[in-house]
Structure formats: C-alpha cells, structure tokens
Chain A
Amino acid sequence: GAGVSQTPSNKVTEKGKYVELRCDPISGHTALYWYRQSLGQGPEFLIYFQGTGAADDSGLPNDRFFAVRPEGSVSTLKIQRTERGDSAVYLCASSSLGQETQYFGPGTRLLVL
C-alpha cells in the first residue's frame, strides 16, 4: 500500500559525473512518468513508460539523459556527463492505466556543482 518512492532524496555531484536516480512506483501501476522541476516552475515532462517500453521519450532534453524500466516496475533515470544546468528536482509519477490520475513521489533533488 506504499506510495511512489524515489531514491536518493538528495544527490550532490560534480560537473561531468554520471548519476542514477531511482523510482519505485505504486504496486500494479503499469504507467510511469519522469518529470523535471526547476525552481519556481511547473514540472516538465521527460519520459513515459507503459510497462517496460518507453512509449514517449520526447521530453528528454538530449542524449545525456536515458531511462530504463527493465521489468515493468522500478525505473532508473540516468544522466551522463552532468552539467550545472541539470540541477533540479526530478519527479516520478505512476498511474494505473496511463491516462488517469498520476501519483507522485517526493522527488530527488539533484545539485551539480
């Protein structure tokens, strides 16, 4: 009965490093979304999974960003060669059928120094 969980809560890294952010959706939810939220703005869509496949990755800003969901449950967002502009809160959400109510995790606050 747990909600969406995300780890780590906070991540500080240096410019150029590689980071992985994890999302554990609500059990049984087949749809999973990743968003990025910068200070003072609304969440910005990154990628959507239905099951194991990425049905829409049009929001990924460039090829340094990649996400996987190999077993249709947990998802990992991977950022290569991090830049200071990648600093933001990364949010994950899940839903039961993909186009209904989305339930959000607490987010991972990423700071790139």
Chain B
Amino acid sequence: GIQVEQSPPDLILQEGANSTLRCNFSDSVNNLQWFHQNPWGQLINLFYIPSGTKQNGRLSATTVATERYSLLYISSSQTTDSGVYFCAVDTGGFKTIFGAGTRLFVKA
C-alpha cells in the first residue's frame, strides 16, 4: 500500500518563527488533507489539497502531485499552533492513510 512519510518528526520553535512541514507519499493520490491535532486530541482539518496551493491566514499548503509531496507552511508561529500535524492521503478508494505526524512545540 501507499506509504506516507512526514518530516521532521519533531520541531521546536520560538514564537514568531516560520516553519515548513513536509509530507512525501509513495504513489499517486486522489486526495490529500492536512490536519492539526491539538494537545487535547481534537483533529481539525486545515486543508483539502490534492494539488496546487491554498492559504488560510498564517497557514498555507502546496501539493506537487507529480513529484509526490506536499508542504505545510506556518508563518509567525504562536503557542496555540503547538500539537501534531498530520498529512493524510487516499489513492481513489475510501481508505485514508495518515502519516506519523510532526510534533510541534512553540515556545513563548
């Protein structure tokens, strides 16, 4: 099956810093989503982005489907950005495969 790899596995930032999270996938995908899981465990969808670029406030994402990767950009990070960021893909069926996540801690 498709493999989803996220990097870095852990990231510590000073508040106000920018960062880039990466998601590589091993096969063509039909759907790609980025999620944020807050420290209380709630998963929030950030982007549905099978291709192209989207922006939402301080967050933006780019997926280059032909090269099988997606990037999530966080600018001017805040302590509330802390948590785990997941990339999730499907290959045209209904089975959604999540990566292992990037654990982000933003220091005040």
Contact = CB atoms under 8 A, between A and B. Distances in A.
A96 B51 CA distance: 20
Nearest to A56: B94
Size class of the B contact interface (CB-based, 8 Å)? 20 to 34
Contact of B86 (A42, A59, A98): A42
Contact of B42 (A44, A58, A104): A104
A99 B41 contact: no
Interface string B33-66: 1010000011111001000000000000000000
A56 B43 contact: no
A66 interface: no
Nearest to A59: B95
Contacts of A56: 93-95
B43 A100 contact: no
A99 B100 CA distance: 21
Interface of B: 30-31, 33, 35, 41-45, 48, 86, 88, 90, 93-101
